[in-house]
Amino acid sequence: MTKYNELLVEANKSKKRVGRGIAAGQGKTAGRGTKGQKSRTGKKLNATFQGGQRGIVLSVPKARGFKSLRTPAQVVYLDTLNGFEGKTVDNMTLFEQGFIATPFHTVKVITRGELSKALTVKVAGASKSSQEAIAKAGGSFEKTAVPLKQSAKAAEAAEK
């Protein structure tokens, strides 16, 4: 067994001269095998190239970590419900009065400030403290499913 200090290492190793005839050892195909895209000159393929396929680099997401596809709930604060006209609060009425962007997403009521009106709140969620505050003001909270957007065909049938 050779020792590390006895290894023969050349400082300036000479470049392998390929394609200089059969006798030279690397003649004819010059170590490229036969035929195909990689055997030709003037064609550089990067390490990630997979023969025109989409490639693993593009398939793997760029950003690290976990990206949730679930849309976050739209937040409605308790103190904003004081300016609410009407007794029942649901996705449609909140949307009509401009408290939420769309009635077809989850809405959650979160505690901030005080609620002075007795309201019946019918949305997808509310924090425990806001449920207590609603009950304290004389109202009630009812957990309901998010309304689904009606298709164009169903809306047309409803009009007839």
Contacting residues for 90 by C-beta, under 8 A, at least 6 apart: 121, 122, 123, 144
DSSP state of 73: P
Q: What is the bridge-based pairing of β-strands 120-123 and 140-143?
A: parallel
Residue 139 above 80 pLDDT? yes
Cα–Cα distance between 156 and 29 in angstroms, integer? 71
In 3D, which of 77, 75, 138 has the Cα closest to residue 107? 75
Q: Tell me the CB-side half-sphere exposure of residue 30, using CA atoms within 13 A.
A: 10
- What is the band of 85 on the pLDDT scale with cuts at 50, 70, 90? confident
Query: How many CB atoms within 10 Å of residue 115?
Result: 25
Mean pLDDT of 42-60: 83
Cα–Cα distance between 139 and 151 in angstroms, integer? 34
Q: Domains for the chain: give ranges and CATH numbers.
A: 74-143 (3.100.10.10)
- 12-43 pLDDT, tens digit per residue, is 888 889 999 989 889 999 988 889 888 888 87
